[in-house]
Each structure stands twice: as C-alpha cells, then as structure tokens.
Amino acid sequence: MCGIVGYIGFRQAFPILIDGLHKLEYRGYDSAGCALISDVDGKANIYKAKGKVSDLEQKTNNHDCSGTSGIAHTRWATHGIPNETNAHPHTSQTRNIILVHNGIIENYTILKEQLQQKGYSFETETDTEVLVQLIQYTMDTVPGCQLDVAVRLALKKVIGAYAIVAVDAKNPNQLVCARKSSPLAIGIGADNKEFFIASDASPIAQYTKQMVYLNDGEIAVCERGKELHVFNLDNEDIDPEIKEVNIDLTMLSKEGFPHFMLKEIFDQPNVLKDCMSGRVIKDGDNYRVKLSAVENHKAELVDAKRIIIVSCGTSWHAGLIGKQLIEHFCRIPVEVAYASEFRYSDAVIGKGDVVIAISQSGETADTMAAIELAKNHGAFIFGIVNAVGSSIARMSDSGTYIHVGPEIGVASTKAFTGQITVLVMLALSLGMAKGTVKQSECNEVLQELTNIPEKICKVLTQNDKIHSLAQTFTYARNFLYLGRGWNYPVALEGALKLKEISYIHAEGYPAAEMKHGPIALIDSEMPVVFIATHHQLYQKIISNMQEIVSRNGRILAIVSENDEQVKGIAKDVIEIPQTINCLVPLLSVIPLQLLSYHVAVAKGLDVDQPRNLAKSVTVE
Ligand code: AGP
C-alpha cells in the first residue's frame, strides 16, 4: 500500500526522501511525489510522477530540490485513478498546508460537500485532498490555530484510517504526524536535531535505532532541537515509548540476487534457524520448546475450548497447516477464518476462546479488525507476526515473532515457512503442556525440525532444473495445483504464488475434489502440479494422477526422494528429501516458490512489485 517518508533536520532532505521511497517500493504503488521546503524562502517545491520512484527522480532533474525538511509518498490508488494530479503530496487551497496520507477517509464525500459550500474548491478525486482542506479550513476559522492544533481538530471529524505527515510552508520548522489504523514510525536523531518519519522502520534504520511507533489516535510534532511531542485527539499529552529497533540492514538489500523474492527463497535455511534459535532446546537426550509467550499464558492457551485462526492470503494458508498441527498435537478444535469474512460475521465467540492472528506485516486491516471483534467478545488474542513492533503485535494479548527478517518481495515466501515453523513449535509446546504429546514424539518432531534448514538447502540445489522447467510453462493460461492432507494448503499456496507474480490463472484444490468439477478443465494445454510426497493418502493421490493422465493432462509432480511410482506417470518430477508428515509443507512449498518465480521472470514480469498488489494491505 502507500508509503510515507518525511525528514526534518540539518541534512538535505531530498536524498533521504528518495532513498526512503525506494525502500518502501516493495509495498506496491502506482505513483510517487515529494515536497521540499526551501530553507531560503520557505517556498514548497512539489514534484509528482505517475509510475515509479525513478520516474519521480527524472522529473526532478535540473529542478530545485534543496531544503532540510520535506515529505514524500508512494500512492496505491483507491480514490481516483493513478495519475500526477491524484498523486501525493496534496496541498490546501492556499498552497500552504501540504500533506501525505496513507489510508482512507471514509466520510470524505460529506466533508467535501461541507467544504465546497464554504467556498473551498477541489482539484483531485482523492479523499486526501479533503483532509488537507479541512486542516486549512480549521486554521482559517479558529483564531491563532497552528498546524498541530488544526490537525487534531480536523482528525476529530474524520472517520476512517490514516497515517499522515503535514507541513505548513509558513512554519517549515515542524512536521506534524498522526496515525489511526495505518502504521507510522518516527526515528529520533541525536539530541533531537533531526527526525525521520516512515510507514515502517526500513527507510529509517540506517540513520537511527531510536524509534517511536505512534498508536491509534496519536499526533506527534517533530521540531528540530526539541523533544518529540506526542498528544492524543483529546489533547492529552502522551509520554512516547522510545524503542531501540535493530534491523539487519543486509535484509534490506538484494545481496547480489536479481530480485528480493529469489533472495528471500534462498534466505529460508538461515532464517528458519533464526526462528528456532533459543526456542528449540535440547536438554540431554530430550528436546523441548521454549516460547515465553506460551509459558506466560499457559492457562489461557492450554484450557482453550476452541482456537480460531484469522489471517489473509499466504498467512491464511499457514493457518490451515496450523489447524492440522494443533488438532493433531493438542486435540483442541481449530477453525480457520478469512479475517475479511470473520470481521463481519456473527461469530459465536467468547471467553475461553483463543484467536490466533497470523500476519507477516502485522498491519493487515482485515486481520486487525478481526482481532478487534474477537477482543470485544472476550477472546484471548495470540499473534504470530513477523514485523517487529507492528500493530498486530501490539494489539495481541500475547504472541510470538517469526523472526525471519524483513520480507520485501510482495510474494510471501520466507514468512510462510517461518509461520509454519512457529506453528509447529506452538503446537508441540501446548501439546506437551496439555499432556497430549509424548516426550518421544516431541523429540522426533523437534529433532527433524532442526534438520529442515539443511533439507531446504538440498531442495534449493534444484534451482537450475526448476528454472529450465519453468521456461516450458510460460505458454500456459491456467494451472491446477493439487495436494491432500498436509499438502493441500501447499497446493493453495503454490497456486497463489503463481497467479500473484506470473498473472497466470491458477487454482489450488484438494486432489480428490478434482472429480467434483475441475476435472472438466483438463486437456493437454493445462499443466497440473501434484504435490505427491510419501505420506498420508499417497496411493490415493496416485489414482488422482492417473485420472489426469487419461485425459491428456500434463503433470508436474513434487515427490519424495527415490519415488519410483510417480516417475512412471508424471511428465516432470521434482524430488524433495524425506521428512515426517507434519513437516512436509516446509519442503514441498520450496519448489513451488521457485517455479512461480522462474515462470514470472521468463515472462519478463516485475517479480518483486507485481501489478495491482501491495505488500501490506492496510485498507479494506
Ligand atoms: C502473499 O504472497 C500475499 N502477498 C498476500 O496474500 C499476503 O499473504 C496477505 O495480504 C496477508 O498479509 P500479512 O501476512 O502481512 O497479514
């Protein structure tokens, strides 16, 4: 979704803003813009471009980009088509107030009508222009009103979600920021001489570790040489919590890989070790899981009558695996809900229920709303989140970070395997606490879990083979992915990966369901990917394959090492090492990630920033 960067200090703002926008490109956007306030005459120089940040840079060539304060934005269109006019920053009628905004002002139509009646005219189709005009109107009508007060009073009239940074060109010594349901981080430079503002910590981490994450309903004034002033919509002062945020900067670069997605696929062996580090513990001959979140909330978790997992997209697929893990190891019934449906459902939920929210970004609007609903009904919220300090991490009663490092590629890869790894640890730790898992079983699973990174390395050695195979699939307009049991969610995830980045239509199905409809689609043009590892229902999936072969379908199968049976049926096979059933998804998904990556590259597509997609979906 949209990205915000702001700077005020003693350095030239422009390079910081542009570098920051590049670091936020992964979020997905369709236009970009920036405003620089000149230190000489207080004039605001505003530049906008449709397309990429590089287009914006080109636009600024030979133009005045000087100034030690400025704001910048990447826009993902909601209200109004992607063009220069609708791109941020937006200005008020006097041109004095300049604003960048993430989120949606839901009551913008009525506010716009009211402002129009008072003589304010509008140049864009955006909801953001309404907000900047409302701030201007407040300054015009409330005697002596400065920007910070005007922002507060204006936001009290707004319904919706926002992260904003505003500047008054007449008083360029301060930037005013605010947040509701859309993230905003403020980095504080030494002695408060400079402030860095961004939608997440990635553009800030190279300058300072001291970070404040605004909470909903908070407004902050960043003024050179003064302490950060935070207050709320009711004008009560807030003592900001300054966090020390350590981000591994290598995670923010491609490190020689052509795309973040490929790098992140190859990151998996190492980051899964990080994910397990200090959590999978060997005491003598026995293994155990140490998750402080579980230890601190044993009663709520162990006594759960029922668990509901809420999430979206890839995180929802991880949730389907989580259901199997928790039901298998803990014998607690688990439901998995799309957060977007759950949030509006008439959910029968209450005290004694545990809701597990899974999210890479920790900022997904639907998942946040689902958590709110569950909280209001008295459920206990356990977050499984990657982005440290994110909204979902903060709104959960307890939880566990995935610790796989920032994920930049829009198509989620290492977060998925990280989520499964956490779910395995969670299920075992709860199962041991409940007495539904024997020590011998815990030993077997955890010992094998520690072998998984090495086995993923083995799968990754087949990258070249998958690359060649991918070239033969670029013709396809449709794909079917089939799996059963533990591999059914992997089939869904493989299909999602392919459609996200290659724009090939793909469906994931439980293999046996094929007969109930999708089989009608099978012909020689339709590639069918089977995840057919040696595990539960293996023989049955072989029968499903035969049904495809007899209809001239083309099969690519993911099989266990030394499989002979499938080789005789499928046109192409990719082998993965043997492992125990519940850990199979951690290996079987890797070739599917690589396949989608190579198909998309072969089609010449923008793998890291696929069209129309955003990395974190912070609006409904
Ligand atoms: C994954 O490849 C997708 N980009 C998308 O489905 C994603 O998983 C979904 O939007 C949920 O995001 P979250 O994990 O950050 O909540």
Q: pLDDT digit string (tens) for 300-336?
A: 999 999 999 999 999 999 999 999 999 999 999 999 9
Q: Mind giving me the DSSP string for 456-514? A: HHHHHTTHHHHHHHHHTTTT-SEEEEEE-GGGHHHHHHHHHHHHHHH--EEEEEEGGGG
- Residue whose structure tokens are 């070239």: 471
From start to end of 360-397, where are the E strands? 380-385
Rounded to whole angstroms, the Cα distance separating 338 from 357 reads: 10
Question: Could you tell me the pLDDT band of residue 101, with boundaries at 50, 70 and 90?
Answer: very high
Distance 290 CA to ligand 1 centre (A): 27
Sign of CA dihedral 234, 235, 241, 247: positive
Average pLDDT over residues 68-94: 91
312 within ligand 1 shell (Cβ under 6 A): yes
Q: What is the pLDDT of residue 40?
A: 78
- CA distances 218 to 108, 155, 156, 199, 264, Å, are 21, 10, 11, 15, 34
Give helix then strand counts, H and E, for the chain.
18, 27
Phi (first) and psi of residue 44, to 5 degrees: -95, 125
Whether 615 is a known active-site residue: answer yes
Chain centroid to CA 324: 24
For residue 464, the one-letter residue type is: D
Rounded to whole angstroms, the Cα distance separating 458 from 346 reads: 47
Q: Mind giving me the DSSP string for 289-331? A: E--HHHHHTHHHHHT-SEEEEEE-HHHHHHHHHHHHHHHHHH-
315 within ligand 1 shell (Cβ under 6 A): yes
Question: Could you tell me the pLDDT band of residue 470, with boundaries at 50, 70 and 90?
Answer: very high
Rounded to whole angstroms, the Cα distance separating 187 from 4 reads: 13
Distance 312 CA to ligand 1 centre (A): 6
390 within ligand 1 shell (Cβ under 6 A): no
Rounded to whole angstroms, the Cα distance separating 122 from 115 reads: 9
**360: closest CA among 323, 413, 428, 307?**
413
Phi (first) and psi of residue 420, to 5 degrees: -65, -40
**326: closest CA among 421, 426, 434?**
426
Question: Could you tell me the pLDDT band of residue 256, with boundaries at 50, 70 and 90?
Answer: confident
For residue 252, pLDDT over 80 is answered with: no
361 within ligand 1 shell (Cβ under 6 A): yes
- CA distances 252 to 196, 203, 206, 208, 501, Å, are 17, 9, 10, 15, 20
Average pLDDT over residues 143-152: 95
Q: What is the pLDDT of residue 553?
A: 87
Give yes or no for a contact between 560 and 534, defined as CB atoms under 8 angstroms apart.
yes
The closest residue, in CA terms, to atom 4 on ligand 1 is 411
For residue 374, pLDDT over 90 is answered with: yes
Contacts of 51 by beta carbon, 8 Å cutoff, 6+ apart:
30, 31, 32
DSSP letter for 40, please: T
